[in-house]
Amino acid sequence: MLETVQKETVAKKIVLDLYGIHQAFSQPNGKSSLVLDDMSLSLREGEIVGVLGRSGCGKSTLLRIAAGLIRPTAGKVFYQGKELDRPAKGIAMVFQTFALFPWLTVLENVMTGLDALGMKEAEAHKKALAAIDLIGLDGFETAYPRELSGGMRQRVGFARALVVDPAVLLMDEPFSALDVLTGETLRSDFIDLWTEGKLGIKSVMLVTHNIEEAVFLCDRIIVLAANPGRIAARIEVPLPQPRERLAPAFREIVDDIYARMTAGHASASDIKDKKGTLPGLAMRLPIVSSHRISDLLEMLAAPPFEGRADLRVLAERFHLDDDQLLPIVEAAQILGFAEIRGGDLHVTAAGKILAEDTGDGRKRLFCEHLLRSVPLAAHIRHILSERLGHEAPRNRFLPELEDHLSPRDASQTLTAIIDWGRYAEIFTYDQKHHKFKLSA
């Protein structure tokens, strides 16, 4: 399923071209962390390109670079052949949070973009009404955003973007703040307007963490990997619109992407340590409560899954977003309680025991695996046992982690290990004084 460039797309003109994009942000401590690492990607006429990745992979940053809102540290963006150095006419954006001005009516919100273009009021008014009509909002022109439901608000967001006749539409998780049903309706309405050619847009870039959504809407999907954000896979979706979610071909693509997004998580053994003194401290841990991990394993071990589950089905059962499920899966993998094989999640032998034991045994097993699989846990226990009073402040470990991880990741990892270590009763943590203490 890797990108197989079709003859058809080659013929189409490139509208927006991102080339060799690097993005680094400087941290308060003076170090800079790399968010995007050498990304290249182009949008051609007539296609919807999806950028798919988990939170923190830099996909929103990439979209903002494409919009001219952020200047990349290195690399260039070309829009219709010209270099883009600021927001340009013809590139419109739809926001996850809608980004409507609460003090303006629906009509005024839609008109703001036209005002900025310097359009005459009468003409702007006419155009705005047409866009409101197209997107199914007629009758709500004089309503204020806070009087509308989430779905209606996002329709205003779409109308505001479409009314300026953009060549490129950039969408930042436009459906993720909506409930499932509303999101589905809006997605279908959007793809209908698009396939009917009523939008006058040349191409669309959609940022999302929802795998099905990407497969449902996009012609091409770029899968990003995190830390730093880079392209993990390019996937073509050669299915005709409208797409059927239950069709085997659709499911096959979804499963394939699931497998790609969960594969290759760092485990202790394959982390190459920079300094070699403290092996494995470069392991970034997801903030997932220990209870969440055992919940997942219990569910996985029990019927109907019996130790093996399709991730998508599991997400539905768990009532979780992909974005919420994947960190739990990652944590279970790191601790050796589950593994991904062929797009499915399998419980390991240890995971099965953990799922079945409810008493102290579960805690002991968790502790054992934590010390074995996560070098940081063993390291903290070692330091605490050597120190007088068996205590150590948070700042004993944070700088160490920051030698290997970005400050944000370091602090996140420490938060994760505090929860796990507390549950495993390896140490206690005093939040008030930021202090670790060895458990008796």
Partner 1 sequence: MHTLIRPARLVAPNRWDLVAFPLIVAVLVLLGRGAEGTFAPLEAVQSAPIFLDPAMLPGYAVRTVLRMLAAMAASLLFTLAYGTLAAKSRRAEIILIPLLDVLQSVPILGYISFTVVFFMNLFPGRVLGAELASIFAVFTSQAWNMAFSFYQSLRTVPRDLDEASRAFRFSSWQRFWRLEAPFAVPGLVWNMMMSMSGGWFFVVASEAISVGKQQIALPGIGSYVALAIEQRNLGAIGWALAAMTVVIILYDQLMFRPLVVWANHFRYEQAAAQTVPHSWFLNLVRHGRFLQLTTRPLEYLAQRVLRAPLLNASVPGPLVTETSARSRIVDAIWYAAIILVTLYGCSIIVRYVATELGWEDVLLVFRLGAYTLLRVAVLIVLASFIWVPVGVMIGLRPQLAEKIQPLAQFLAAFPANLLFPFAVIIIVHFDLNPDIWLSFLMILGTQWYILFNVIAGTTAYPTDFLEAADNFQIRGWKWWRNVILPGIFPYYVTGAITASGGSWNASIVAETVSWGETHLTAHGLGAYIAEMTAAADYPRIVLGIAVMSLYVIFFNRVLWRRLYRYGERHFRLD
| DSSP 8-state symbol, 86 | S
CA–CA distance from 359 to each of 155, 352, 353 (Å)? 51, 14, 11
How near is the Cβ of 154 to partner 1 at its closest, in Å?
A: 12
The nearer residue to partner 1, 23 or 290, going by C-beta atoms, is: 23
- The span from the CA of 289 to the CA of 335, in Å, is 13
Burial class (CB in 10 A: 0-12, 13-18, 19+), 117: exposed
Tokens 């091409």 found at: 220
Q: Which of 3, 8, 147, 356 binds partner 1 (CB under 8 A)?
A: 147
- Scanning 96-104, 254-262, 293-301, 372-380 for contacts with partner 1 by CB under 8 A, the matching segment is 96-104
**Collapsing DSSP states into helix, strand and coil, what is residue 103?**
coil
| Per CB under 8 A, 143 contacts partner 1 | no
Whether 380 and 429 have beta carbons less than 8 Å apart is answered as no
By the rule CB under 8 A, 1 interacts with partner 1: no
d(CA 433, CA 440): 19
CB of 272 to partner 1, least distance (A): 30
**Binding flag, residue 430, partner 1 (CB under 8 A):** no
Token pair listed for 345? 């999640």
Instruction: Name the residue nearer to partner 1 (CB basis): 142 or 188.
Output: 142
Contact range with partner 1 by CB under 8 A, out of 79-87, 309-317, 359-367, 394-402: 79-87
Site string for partner 1, 34-73 (x = CB under 8 A): ------------------------------x--xxxxx-x
User: Which residue among 101, 252, 306, 415 contacts partner 1 (CB under 8 A)?
Assistant: 101
Told to check if 146 binds partner 1 by CB under 8 A, we report: yes
How far apart CA 384 and CA 378 sit, in angstroms, is 10
* Shortest distance in whole angstroms from residue 62 CB to partner 1: 14
Shortest Å distance, C-beta 68 to partner 1: 6
Closest distance of CB 119 from partner 1, Å: 10
Task: Give the separation between CA 252 and CA 230, rounded to whole angstroms.
Answer: 24
Indicate the helix (H) or strand (E) that contains 407.
helix 407-423
> Toward partner 1, which CB reaches closer, 171 or 418?
171
Residue number with CB closer to partner 1 (103 or 361):
103
| 34 and 228 Cβ atoms separated by less than 8 Å | yes
CB 205 to partner 1: min, Å? 13
Count residues contacting partner 1 (CB under 8 A)? 40
Q: List Cα–Cα distances, 303 to 321, 326, 349, 358, in angstroms.
A: 22, 21, 16, 17
112 binds partner 1 (CB under 8 A): yes
Of 5, 74, 99, 249, which lies in the binding site for partner 1, with binding defined by CB under 8 A?
A: 99
In whole angstroms, give the CA distance from residue 165 to residue 123. Answer: 14
Binding to partner 1, residues 152-191 (CB under 8 A): 153, 160, 164
Q: What is the distance of C-alpha 427 from the center of its chain?
A: 32
Give the angle 104-106-112 at the CA atoms, nearest 5°.
65
Beta strands in 113-268 (DSSP E): 168-172, 203-208, 220-225, 230-236
Q: Please, what is the minimum distance in Å from the beta carbon of residue 366 to partner 1?
A: 32
- Closer by beta carbon to partner 1, 4 or else 431: 431
| Cα 151 to Cα 180: distance, rounded to the nearest angstrom | 10
Shortest reach from residue 91's CB to partner 1, in Å: 7
- Binding mask of the shown chain, residues 114 to 133, with x at each position contacting partner 1 by CB under 8 A: -xxxx--x------------
Q: Is 97 a binder of partner 1 (CB under 8 A)?
A: yes
* Interface residue with partner 1, options 50, 53, 58, 145 (CB under 8 A): 145
Q: In this chain, which of 5, 6, 26, 133 binds partner 1, going by CB under 8 A?
A: 26
Sign of CA dihedral 254, 257, 258, 259: positive
Instruction: Give the pairing of strands 308-310 and 230-236.
Output: unpaired
Among residues 3, 6, 13, 25, the one that binds partner 1 under rule CB under 8 A: 25
Cβ atoms of 370 and 285 within 8 Å: the answer is no
Q: Determine the Cα–Cα distance for residues 294 and 419; give it in Å rounded to an integer.
A: 13
Binding segment toward partner 1, per CB under 8 A, in 97-105, 300-308, 325-333, 347-355:
97-105
**Chain residues in the site for partner 1 (CB under 8 A):** 25-26, 64, 67-71, 73, 85-89, 91-93, 95-104, 112-113, 115-118, 121, 145-147, 153, 160, 164
